[in-house]
Structure 1
Amino acid sequence: MEEPQEISSTNDSCVGDIVIEKYLVESKEAASHVQLACSVQHCAFPLDGNQLCIWNTEDPSHQRLILRGHQQPITAVAFGNTANPLLICSASQDCVIMWKLDECREKVLEGLTPRGTVMRTLLGKVLCLRFCPDDRVVAACAGNKILVLDVEVWDHRLGSLIYSSSVLTASPLLSLFIDEDSRQLVTGSADGQLWIFSLGESHHYRCVTHVDLKKKTESFSTRRVESQLCSLPEESQLPSTDGLERGGEIEVELPVLSLAPCALSLVPSSERGFVSSENASCLWIGSSAGLFILNLANFELEAVLRYKDFRNLSIQVAGSCAVMGKTGNHMAFCLLTSLFGSQVAVLEIRLACLVRSLPRPNVGKDLSVLPRSGVLPTSPLYFALVEEKSTKPASQKQS
């Protein structure tokens, strides 16, 4: 394991301490296109294929917890939602295992081998795992089936289908997120498309909007360049076009690998750039090229962090991604696996530094105001209007 290292940016407009590579490990087998897991305090990922590695983000010693129980390579990992006990579920083609994290740590301290509970065997290749809010049920997606596994009892009561959507896109759906505040369901696909549905029953679960991540990134880059130009002093020279073109590069494909809540609204407004709503819900979008913050109120990008803009970052193109924000200290952790290699990295993202690095709109140059009423009789504009009317020929018809 390598020591944490601070990653500086190649873009001069960015703050150098936006991203810190807290953890980097080389795995014997690649873990690309594998569902990774991040909780408030832990990151979990496959190591050497069939081992489950758990890293505590708050442990200064960077000690790893290795859990062994799978024979085949792990394909999906998910944390539970409750802290006591903190559960983690891992899946491979041979079995699905449930682990109680605290018990596993106690076993290790006692010199024993931690064991999990095998919930199901031979489900096939499980691509996604997800806990229900109370951690009593785990949904496993294997092939074209979704299986519901009970954590405590096997006879899960039958549910009813409340909504069924038609085919959204020809590309596979890779990620899903439910925002409790705005009651919206967000899905992301391999071709960089996001579909947002309203969960209000009166809305009949209709699609609210469709977001093209590539087009939104182009629009964000245009806004950023315009803001940079407007903030230049009048006597200064325009920057070279090479720098602007390099800053406005757009990735060809931006698959939506993961979705997670973002606490951007908690960052002080004095440090924020393009944030348009103080209490708006925001969303982390993890892709192969970088991380994006989407405002769920106006569906515009608030920030873009591209991996290639930072020197010495071990992973430039990600195959899998998981993000978890910490609301108390304005930080987020991003767990990445390399698309072309076998590296696994944990990045610490300082949210306040990220938004502070964005150019702010220039508010001191021009001001446009829409009138709420007619021109006052005492206004100079009023007399000019009267004078203009009086100079018109009498024969000209008035509209």
Structure 2
Amino acid sequence: MMEALHNTPCLTVIRERRSTVSSCPVSHVQISCSCQYCAFPLNGNDLCIWSISNPTEEPIILKGHHQPITAVTLSYGMNPCLVCSASPDYVILWKMDECKSSLLEGRLPRGRVIGTLLGMVAHLEFHPDGKKVAACARNKILILSVECEDVLAELAGHLGSVNAAKFCPWQDNLLVSISEDRTFKVWNYHAESLVFQSAVLSAFPLLKMYIDAEKKQLVTGCADGQLRVFSLLEEHHFRPVCQIDLQKENHNFLQKFQESGQLDKSGLATSEIKNVSWKNSAKDKDTVIMDSSFPVLYIHKFKQSLVETEISFFGHPRLLWVGSSSGFILINMENCEVEASLNFSDYDNLSIMLVGSCALASNVDKKVYCLLTSMFSNQVSLIEFDALTLMRSQHQGVQAHRSVIGLSIVSSEPLLSTSPLCMEASKKSISLKTIGVKNTVKDQPLVFHKKVKSSGYSAAPRMKMFSPKTNIKKTIEPSKVKKNIQSGIMKEYPLKSSAPNIPWKQLSVASKPTAVSCIQYSGDGKKLACGLSDKSILLFSSDFSGEPSVFAGHDGTVNGLGWSHDSNWVVSSAEDNILKIWSVKNADPVLVMGKGMFSKPVRFPQFYYMDTFILLSSGAEFHILKYSLDDAKDDLKRYKQKSWCKSVQKFQMDTAVEITGLSAVNDFYSYLVLAVGSNRTLEVFDLNLNCSVATIPDVHPRAAHQICQNKGSAFSTQASEAYNLFATTAIGDGLKLWDMRTLRCVRKFEGHVNRCQPCGIAISPCGRFIACGSEDRSAYIYDIHSNTYLQKLSGHTQTVINVAFNPSSPQLTTATLDGKLQIFVS
């Protein structure tokens, strides 16, 4: 055996601790690495054990197999440490403390045979209790006893070789397996029965798997570099949660790393890291394989307690190390993004550049240890790298384009005199107040001269009609008390209520199919406004009793609606390039802004800054408008328009052709406005500083069509940090949840179908749920703390294009392309 020790670090990030060369190939066998030891086949039928903590310690060679070893596994977190090795002749269990004692006494270590002549074993896995071992032999899974040579169960059903199997940590009788037949199966190995079988997932075989005990999810890795996540909860019917293209995400991460300036033109990074392979400038021809494939060879959890990463609203993220033939990447399972990337070809001090099999341990003195075997040679090496140093150096580059200003939706700074929001501060605001009341004529009798006796005003009444009883005790009916309380005092939104999922009512907005382009509840939850493709606006009561009020006057599809904070006014925009403001008490518009004011169509109108301004977008600009409304009734002067509106300021997105989403908070004072454009960039504008303060590039692969902020409501109370959450959605990419403080995606939600229609989203007033429309004639409700959907609301007749939560009660309204409204309650 030839072995070399590398104790002098060549780089601050990574170094090679040990290496050796086997006389037989070891490229495609299962190897294992734990906090104490790493184990691998050597020279065919020998088992070699290296110490992790002491690299100078002599390797332990265990002999007992007569044929080449094909699989090795170590027990995790068990004392004493157990090692199991398999070959076509035997499956042998070794106890490390006994093996060490035997070597110290000069005796040959001996293991216990727990399986004989099982054939080609591709994978071994210990049960968490250490009393059973699962052996994947061809297309079967055999459950072996550790105490004696006994097959406890035999599971057969896969059509191809089983590549991996794992026991379910939270349910003792379940086991999950993946196979060359491109499916996974869930077994009840106590009863030797099949619980669930997936469909064919890919054109490529499933190679590796990992079970997340915390989220109760299965993560599978495929030969084409696809990571697929499934829920293992039986009530979820083992449904898919998300799919991650590892090569694509890694490329995007490295591209941001290069664009940030951390790499110079020669490919050398300032942190002594070279990024070579992704730019097609590999050191040797073998590394070009990375450009065409990214097979998943290993999946392992990264201990979060040792990670000094930024903490979002949800705490530390779930991180997984995913090993491939060219390196390791650290995946954030909450947002499906890469946190760090380690490419073997970027380091000259490593002896293995292309890996055949690998194993990893990540909780040893805050270091990560990787056991690697070469794909085309018989080399085996143990490398060590500092994950925190790697992450810091790369995040300095990736985060360089993001602002370091601590942004918050809730305002904490005083309003500056230079802010456009301060323009009218010194003047008394007359917005939303009737200025024509003083000019109205007071009602008076026809004859009112006191000297005219016939008028009846010169004498007092001469008779008393009745004498009321004043000694009666006043009582109020309980129903009236409840009504008075509801009308006078706001009820608290039930924060612990379940998501609305019970169908309550269904109605049509028109006699013929008419698309509902937008819906929005008023702030008091008493009315629902619906914009239709037939150019009209309908106002329903929240109990949907009686006929709706109809507002007509637009000459195009209504594309946007917004309620005032006091719920008395509605602002609307349409494809006719006209903005209108309506009073809920009158079907005539109070304010009309014509086509001459904006050169491009008006989108996303809303009241802003506690009804002080109107916010809207036109092309690549968004405008702040100051206004005053007059709804006084004067028949003599009804044609004289006293309402007015003027532009305060406009802001331009840098490289966008059009703003595709705009959002701001109106329920409380906030300086921030969020805009996303056709350039797929989200830009944050601080209207107190009167400038753009941050940008997030490539929010989605396509332009986002909606920004939805967690605005809460007057009926609910949330932590101030919760208002920093906002969601974006785009066609073909699901929806993402972002944290304003870090400008990072903290959750990604997939499950609904959104391939061609801009389906809307909404966040519940309690901040716990996100609802979204879907093209499969359903609406989906996601738990904001989970990655999979909580409810699927079926029964719609067409694509669900819009959703809206009632701010005062657990009520969800969905709208479809054919003009149907469906209301769900909890």
Alignment TM-score > 0.5, same fold: yes
Q: Which has the higher helix share?
A: 1
Tell me how far 1:277 sits from its aligned partner: 6.4
Aligned to 1:105, what secondary structure does the other structure show? Answer: helix
Query: Larger Cα Rg: Structure 1 or Structure 2?
Result: 2
Q: Equivalent residue for 2:252?
A: 219
Q: Equivalent residue for 1:375?
A: 609
Deviates most, 238-247 or 35-44: 238-247
Q: Equivalent residue for 1:305?
A: 342
Aligned to 2:197, what secondary structure does the other structure show? Answer: coil
Q: Equivalent residue for 1:31?
A: 26
- Asked whether the equivalents of residues 358 and 370 of structure 2 are also in contact (C-alpha less than 8 Å), the reply is yes
Deviates most, 211-220 or 80-89: 80-89
- Return the structure number with greater relative CO, CA threshold 8 A, min gap 6: 1
Q: Equivalent residue for 2:378?
A: 342
Among 370, 375, 385, the residue aligned to 2:626: 385
Change (3 A) 1:320 1:306: same
Among 3, 6, 10, the residue aligned to 2:5: 3
Change (3 A) 1:210 1:60: closer
Q: Equivalent residue for 1:11?
A: none
1:251 aligned to 2:297?
Answer: no
- Asked whether the equivalents of residues 22 and 43 of structure 2 are also in contact (C-alpha less than 8 Å), the reply is yes
Aligned to 2:113, what secondary structure does the other structure show? Answer: strand
Distance 2:646 2:225 in 1: 61
Q: Equivalent residue for 2:128?
A: 133
1:240 aligned to 2:273?
Answer: no
Deviates most, 360-369 or 141-150: 360-369
- Asked whether the equivalents of residues 144 and 151 of structure 2 are also in contact (C-alpha less than 8 Å), the reply is no
1:321 counterpart letter in structure 2: C
Q: Structure 2: give runs of 5+ residues left out of the alignment.
A: 153-189, 270-274, 280-289, 412-606, 616-622, 629-643, 648-826
- Asked whether the equivalents of residues 280 and 295 of structure 1 are also in contact (C-alpha less than 8 Å), the reply is yes
Distance 1:155 1:258 in 2: 28
Tell me how far 1:109 sits from its aligned partner: 0.7
Distance 1:200 1:266 in 2: 29
Q: Equivalent residue for 1:50?
A: 45
Among 293, 305, 314, the residue aligned to 2:330: 293
Aligned to 1:340, what secondary structure does the other structure show? Answer: coil
- Asked whether the equivalents of residues 377 and 383 of structure 1 are also in contact (C-alpha less than 8 Å), the reply is no
Distance 2:62 2:243 in 1: 40
Tell me how far 1:43 sits from its aligned partner: 0.2
Among 213, 216, 220, the residue aligned to 1:183: 216
Tell me how far 1:288 sits from its aligned partner: 0.5
1:253 counterpart letter in structure 2: S
Q: Equivalent residue for 2:80?
A: 85
Q: Equivalent residue for 2:683?
A: none
Change (3 A) 1:336 1:330: same
1:3 counterpart letter in structure 2: L
Length, aligned pairs only = 372
- Asked whether the equivalents of residues 81 and 134 of structure 1 are also in contact (C-alpha less than 8 Å), the reply is no
Identity rate, percent: 40
Distance 1:76 1:142 in 2: 10
Q: Equivalent residue for 1:315?
A: 352
- Asked whether the equivalents of residues 182 and 281 of structure 1 are also in contact (C-alpha less than 8 Å), the reply is no
Q: Equivalent residue for 1:193?
A: 226
Change (3 A) 1:259 1:20: same
Aligned to 1:385, what secondary structure does the other structure show? Answer: strand
Distance 2:342 2:43 in 1: 29
- Asked whether the equivalents of residues 265 and 280 of structure 1 are also in contact (C-alpha less than 8 Å), the reply is no
Q: Equivalent residue for 2:688?
A: none
2:233 counterpart letter in structure 1: G
Q: Equivalent residue for 1:234?
A: none
Aligned to 1:345, what secondary structure does the other structure show? Answer: strand
Q: Structure 1: give runs of 5+ residues left out of the alignment.
A: 9-15, 232-237, 392-399
Distance 2:307 2:267 in 1: 33
Q: Deviations over 1:341-399 (max 9, x none)?
A: 111000112111111211431344789887997136888x99963499359xxxxxxxx
Aligned to 2:339, what secondary structure does the other structure show? Answer: strand
Tell me how far 1:82 sits from its aligned partner: 4.4
Change (3 A) 1:180 1:241: same
Q: Equivalent residue for 1:396?
A: none
Superposition TM-score, scaled by structure 1 size: 0.84
Change (3 A) 1:247 1:104: closer
Superposition TM-score, scaled by structure 2 size: 0.42
Distance 2:31 2:136 in 1: 14
Q: Deviations over 1:185-234 (max 9, x none)?
A: 111122212111112232121111122211111221223233x14x8xxx
Tell me how far 1:137 sits from its aligned partner: 1.2
Tell me how far 1:133 sits from its aligned partner: 0.8
